[in-house]
Structure 1
């Protein structure tokens, strides 16, 4: 009888071994585990409805479908590409006119940099179902509020297209590549202030405000583009590195009726940034956020649309830097909502139209992470925050006076929201480390689920056969007493009596977060694949990362890479002392800022780390752009030690372990120059290392089979060296 039971147990164990399917790089990086979502979801403003861009696989067509918030039922298909041969290539994106009767549809999109692109644009009138191609390969076309015109940029100049007459008026004529840009941001603004459209319509559609960039004195950067041609071509663009000259910015008001342009007087400022610009609800008042070069002083200006005179209505100062806010929202009386870290944590404030504080809406030792809007009828503010811990996100509502706060999200993890125009409902997006994204319709008064929308059950079922481990979240305390958020992924068959190698992953940049209780990203599947091969993966968010208050985030000021590297080394020492860890086999990996960090760790922590992989790393902050670098380090002229003491290029003689350096040759962001100079420094220090350059690949290093080859390379390196 006993032998029969043993036989059954043997067969069951064999079955479980067969049942657990192994992850592969090929599956992971071809999107086999992509979660279902609601693509291009947009809440309409005039009706209690929303739209989603759907794809019909059988018909090979795309639809912009209209849904009712209250019932989730599809009300109509606004447009189906199968009815229009002009849209055979599909819909890349779409925007509504203010009255939501017309749609601008983009296709044939050509990417420029991270956010910028040119595309062909079609005007679609919903009532008549008429589609007309109106613009070819332009940037940022934007309806006037009255829906009669479209402003757009092309080849560094601004234009206005009149929908009725089909005539185009050119506003600027001095636009020229690598010299003058009108209405579109330059490279460094786009990358670091994260916006492209530098023009905006006044509420009455009579004026267009725009920023002009004079790049004439900005130094140029050149990259070889190899392709398969006999001779490479050279791409040259303006790139201000730390301490070098920035573009000179100026602000203009264009009067549509008079075809006249007036400059805004910003003569009080020198070497400054216009980090944001938008019209208020008063058609004659423009707002602009002006930052000094150190980015520790921000003025919110109100500009008179008639005289172009500017006055400061709000000022923010900080010993480190002031974060630019995207939450500036004007109410009907032109009072406004503003978010600020001035009390040590990011919170919501309400000011009157003169800049006088009316109330601090939220308070506490936690961060507001998203502002969703204000229901002016009930004077209720809706927001997302870290009130229940820095690794989770919850949704709340609160009175404009800071009273009657109600938690609207129920599940523990990461909650996001898109509210209906009347604030009666919201679509709640939820995920955590064990639950793929779910979309539900919720009541905005109570937070209760009204109806499920998308649940990703198919993905959950698909993953069962892989029997994946889970992320374990914990707080790691270093010997110095620093408490740091962390997660760990152990092999599914983890045995506490064994000794495991540890592969650490981090990013570590200012205000960033990698330790968050949300659904797996693509790299998480790779870490789980490594766990199936006997590795423990650990991620630690050190000092300088975000969502734990301004003091924690800004303590790395003027010395990027000092405390962050110290924390990764100290965390590795703590982990190395766990009974189930082989402290002689600890590796570290990072991309971009994370590559800067992993490079520093293998050098400054040469007795702790056995191996490191650095992808697209900054190796010397002198090579990186002005806005990002100077925000945290000031200029090299002012803070030479802050640059040099923590740049890995200066510490190559310390290399003992195994180092893999990877870069794309056409990286417009972190230039391959960083790796080339690092390679030369290592060569001259007579250090052996591995490296790979990916021709014509940008900072993301992707395209075709690139990611598969890259992650197979890194996997092989880990298995050989760790």
Structure 2
């Protein structure tokens, strides 16, 4: 009955009233990209002070100084060059100021945009992946299956590795993308050597995923190193193009199970720098290695912590001095800051002397200024600053409030500033490196102007320790303060994910607004453990995931309950992944608060989660048995009182099926009723059209049991 009534109300609001009375459909709430302020995809044209973007005519270039616009390449011209029949412009990048790079159907094309002709085509074999270019050598390295190859400028391919054992994997991501690792191929600056990861997964246990697409079903086994169990063994090879030989770097700091990240070549291509992290992730050494012999030259310095060390980025060498580099860490002064070192490991200075997390954004060719994004104005904002390397004087370059995304030109003479705030849908400005705005490139109109939007508020409350907890609150459409409304408490709560920021609509997902349009108060708050708040704020969760986070989340709900228009008897909670873990944690630990929960892809017990992430925040089960037992949701199954739906991708390689099925099994043992809905062909995040079904399932559950 409730679903029918909801449909009738929705249809009447869609068709019977003026434009401002439109409400979202479920499809719009899930895949309605047109409802988000969309900025032009802008790239600098190689090292030119000219930026490019797509418009109706094709690929357009616009000079930074005069604003002169030139159509560089149309779709018909591109089709003629590469022999295709494209309807729109594909993804592209710039190799230099005149060379456009387009990848399609196993080929990579280098195109001269001035002459509008093909410069070069690289044709890769079937199954090729991880293509990585060396500009100096005009070559591509790539992988097929578990081996590494490179292709020279004549199109000839050569094998770098030839491992028949499928447990040995070369040139690919290691450590499950943790520690800032996004690839496994590292060309030297001169293009004469090729560094690569080699991982041995022989001792890593397999986990079976069920593929139901065949007649009888198949098991697809993945390597999944669980916390406290055997993990992959990672080494670093360096292949010499001229001799065709490989040396492996002598990395033996912490035994066989260690992590190698921040791989950085010296500008002269003779030395490789690696941040070597022990498996416990509380001790890091920055080492330098001879690229020709593989021998370790020195340990420049070490980082130790009682909790964890978290290297995320490689070194950045000074453009005017190859004997100095920038190093980023939050393990010195409590925040991610930039430190200037020489190549012998001597600290020259703390370059960004701010009590806020910062991220490197660029450096001019003279090495006079370093540009960085910072949270020092507010933890919910990103602002661009520059610091004078010699004097240490810093200057704020983006005066407008909000979250700024910056693209520096090749010589850092200009930058493109794309930003939004709760007040501004999206502006894109061109500015000089001193922060002076040259002109507005784009001003994005409010895409939601025709919809009846619930009021969105960005604010903060105080945690028990006095720190600020930032929230966003969405009131129901046509809000009446004299009514009482049910609450949807959306939660994530885990590290590396900030849900509340000062961007348009305070970073809402459209499903949140959909629920507000159908009579719910929607509330989201960032707890301790989330980023851009400094090391102490994040690491308080160490060895007890979920405990402090729950206190913060409940603090927010107790504040929300103080408003007379909140129905304290109708509060539901929903989250995915870490948010699924938080959802079940909250509904079982606080049954008097939460009546209904929907948990997606939930971590149930951290001993079943991957070692790289799990051991950082929980240590190993052997080191922290009390902590693992305390936060495990297996023991909480018997305490479930409210209505709980668990949704799970059946071929999830991130939070494997063992988690949710084990919780269901425990509910059965304790005669506790729980609802369960698997998505048979979905991985960790249910995507595409299936996601519309998922969010309707979530919505229906709240409609049935919370309204």
TM-score of the superposition, structure 1-length normalised?
Answer: 0.89
Name the counterpart of 2:6.
Answer: none
Q: Which residue of 2 aligns with 1:68?
A: 63
Cα RMSD, aligned residues only: 2.4
Please state how far the C-alpha of 1:305 moved relative to its aligned partner: 2.1
- Matched residues, number: 680
> 1:453-492 residue pairs with structure 2 within 5 A?
453-457=441-445, 460=446, 462-478=447-463, 483-492=468-477
1:269 aligned residue: 254
Q: Are positions 1:688 and 2:673 aligned together?
A: yes
Is 1:161 aligned with 2:151?
yes
From 290, 296, 299, the equivalent of 2:282 is 296
Is the Cα–Cα contact under 8 Å of residues 91 and 107 in structure 1 kept in the other structure? no
Deviation sequence 1:574-594 (CA, Å, 0-9, x none): 322323222111111111100
Cα distance, 1:404 vs. partner? 2.7
Aligned with residue 36 of structure 1, among 15, 38, 42 = 38
Q: 1:675-718, CA deviations, whole angstroms, 9 ceiling, x for partnerless residues?
A: 11111111222122222111111111012x21111111111111
Q: Residues 49 and 68 of structure 1 are in contact (CA less than 8 Å); yes or no, is this contact kept in structure 2? A: yes
1:34/1:473 CA distance change after superposition, 3 Å:
closer
Aligned partners of 2:199 and 2:233 also within 8 Å: yes
| Counterpart Cα distance in 2 of 1:280 and 1:78 | 37
Counterpart of 2:448 in 1: which secondary structure? Answer: helix
C-alpha distance 18-125 of structure 1, shift in aligned 2 (>3 A) = closer
Q: Is the 8 A contact 2:421 2:506 kept in 1?
A: no
Change beyond 3 A, Cα 1:351–1:481: closer
After superposition, the C-alpha distances for 1:159-211 in whole angstroms (9 at most, x for unaligned) are: 121113x221111111543x11111124xx24323534212111222111112
Find the aligned partners of 1:659 and 1:104 in 2 and give their Cα distance. 50
User: TM-score under structure 2 normalisation?
Assistant: 0.91
CA distance 1:300–1:502, change in 2 (3 Å): same
- The residue number in structure 1 matching 2:351 is 361
What corresponds to 1:435 in structure 2?
424
Matches within 5 A, 1:600-639: 600-639=585-624
The structure-2 alpha-carbon separation of the partners of 1:710 and 1:402, relative to structure 1 and needing over 3 Å to count, comes to farther
Shift of 1:416: 1.7
Deviation of 1:410 (Å): 2.0
Higher relative contact order (CA 8 A, sep 6+): 2
Task: Give the whole-Å Cα distance in 2 for the aligned partners of 1:15 and 1:675.
Answer: 44
Offset, 1:346? 1.4
Q: Which deviations, in whole Å up to 9, do the C-alpha atoms of 1:520-575 show, x marking residues without a partner?
A: 59963221222222211111111111212111110111111111122222322232
Q: Does the Cα contact within 8 Å between 2:500 and 2:506 map onto a contact in 1?
A: no
- What do residues 337-394 of structure 1 show as CA deviations (whole Å, max 9, x unaligned)? 11111101111111112121111111232221x2111124261111111111111111
1:6 alignment counterpart: none
The alpha-carbon deviation at position 455 of structure 1 amounts to: 2.1
Equivalence for 1:48: 49
CA–CA distance in structure 2, aligned partners of residues 143 and 153 of structure 1: 13
Structure 1 distance, partners of 2:274, 2:541, is 29
What secondary structure sits across from 1:139 in the alignment? Answer: strand
Distance 1:26 1:306, change over 3 A: closer
Q: Work out which of the residue numbers 374, 381, 384 in structure 1 matches 2:363.
A: 374
Structure 1 regions of 5+ residues with no counterpart? 1-13, 109-118
User: 1:220, 1:530 → 2: CA distance?
Assistant: 40
Deviation at 1:142, TM superposition (A): 2.2
The alpha carbon displacement at 1:425 in A equals 1.2
| Deviations 1:93-145, CA, capped at 9 Å, x for gaps | 44444x5555543234xxxxxxxxxx543444555424535113312222223
1:60-209 alignment to 2 at 5 Å? 64-78=59-73, 80=75, 81-83=78-80, 84-86=82-84, 88=86, 93-97=91-95, 102-108=99-105, 119-124=106-111, 126=113, 127=115, 128-130=117-119, 132-136=121-125, 137-164=127-154, 166-174=155-163, 176-177=165-166, 179-186=167-174, 189-209=175-195
Q: In 2, are the aligned partners of 1:299 and 1:315 still within 8 Å (CA)? A: yes
Shift of 1:431: 0.8
**Contact kept in structure 2, 1:502 and 1:581, CA below 8 Å:** yes
> Is the 1:577–1:583 contact (alpha carbons within 8 Å) kept by the matching residues of 2?
no
- 2:318–2:367 contact (8 Å) kept in structure 1: no
1:485-524 CA-to-partner distances (Å, cap 9, x unmatched) read 2121112433333322221112111243111111359963
1: distance between equivalents of 2:650 and 2:632? 21
**Per-residue deviation, 1:18:** 7.3
Q: Tell me, what secondary structure is at the counterpart of 1:465?
A: coil
1:512-531 aligned at under 5 Å gives the runs: 512-520=497-505, 524-531=509-516
Alignment-derived partner of residue 7 in structure 1:
none
**1: distance between equivalents of 2:393 and 2:489?**
43
The one of 303, 309, 312 equivalent to 2:299 is: 312
Where do 1:281-430 residues align within 5 Å?
281-310=267-296, 311-326=298-313, 328-332=315-319, 333-334=321-322, 335-341=324-330, 342-368=332-358, 370-377=359-366, 379-401=368-390, 403-430=392-419
